[in-house]
Amino acid sequence: MKVIFHNDFHQVYTSDPASAEGRIEAIIRVIEKKVEFVTARPALREDIALVHSEDHINSIKNGGLYEIASLAAGGAIQAAETGLSEPAFAVIRPPGHHASGDSCWGFCFFNNMAIAMRTLLHRGKIQTGYVLDIDMHFGDGTMNTIGHYRCFTVFNPVSHYREAYMDEVKREMDSCQADIIGISAGFDNHEADWGGVLKTENYREIGKLVREAARRNKGGCFAILEGGYNHAVLGGNAMALIEGMEGK
């Protein structure tokens, strides 16, 4: 599988857990011999402006975070474009699903998923898109920015019980109809992370369900990194999702 990545994502750009030293390394160490890396490119300002106001963009720039945040958004766009023809995963940071049009919180600055989806729509590459957000935290920014569009569906499983959670995902994927499915891949709902709900094997199953739905729809699928803070299990969880999307 193609994994969108850039060495700049190793840098510690703030003091929050998403930017913690060793977090990205924990993923790369596990997946590096099993995937094909593609170098991330920064998003164009006009692509970011499809989702965020000029005031918000300028505030991120004034805070010294524009370069890393636009690189993450650009990596998400590349994963989405690649996902139209083959599954792809963007190992990027900062995460994005708590970023709204004019504001952000929760370690996020630009909404990477929303920018990717809006860019594909703007470029005429899709007519419909579906976002499955498996982070333990509700993706309020994604809902705020694209949830009101009739062409987009945004779904956040809510159950705190493993079996019920997986039933939610399966029901959604069984009925999903979209040109592309994007996974906001937060791994903080793992049993050894903050959420304590999912096992590593569940991420593999989620990847499979998404891939099967995309095939049924004759569409595409991709994933982008959101949360996940236990470095000891993060790489294995990311690898499991990749394997599932590959059909393994």
The structural domains of the chain, with segments of one domain joined by +, span: 2-245
> Taking a C-beta distance cutoff of 8 angstroms, is the pair 25, 10 a contact?
yes
Q: List the beta bridge partners of residue 7.
A: none
Tokens of 193: 């992370």
Helix, strand, coil percentages (3-state) for the chain, rounded to 5, are 45, 15, 40
Give every CB contact of residue 15 below 8 A, 6+ residues apart in sequence.
none
What is the bridge-based pairing of β-strands 152-155 and 180-185?
Answer: unpaired
Per the annotation, the verdict on 10 as an active-site residue is: no
The CATH number of 2-245 is 3.40.800.20
Whether cis (ω within 30° of 0) applies to the bond prior to 94 is: yes
pLDDT per position in the chain (248 positions), as tens? 999 999 999 999 999 999 999 999 999 999 999 999 999 999 999 999 999 999 999 999 999 999 999 999 999 999 999 999 999 999 999 999 999 999 999 999 999 999 999 999 999 999 999 999 999 999 999 999 999 999 999 999 999 999 999 999 999 999 999 999 999 999 999 999 999 999 999 999 999 999 999 999 999 999 999 999 999 999 999 999 999 999 97
Choosing from 98, 122, 148, 160, the catalytic residue is: 98
CA distance linking residue 155 with residue 146, whole number of Å: 12
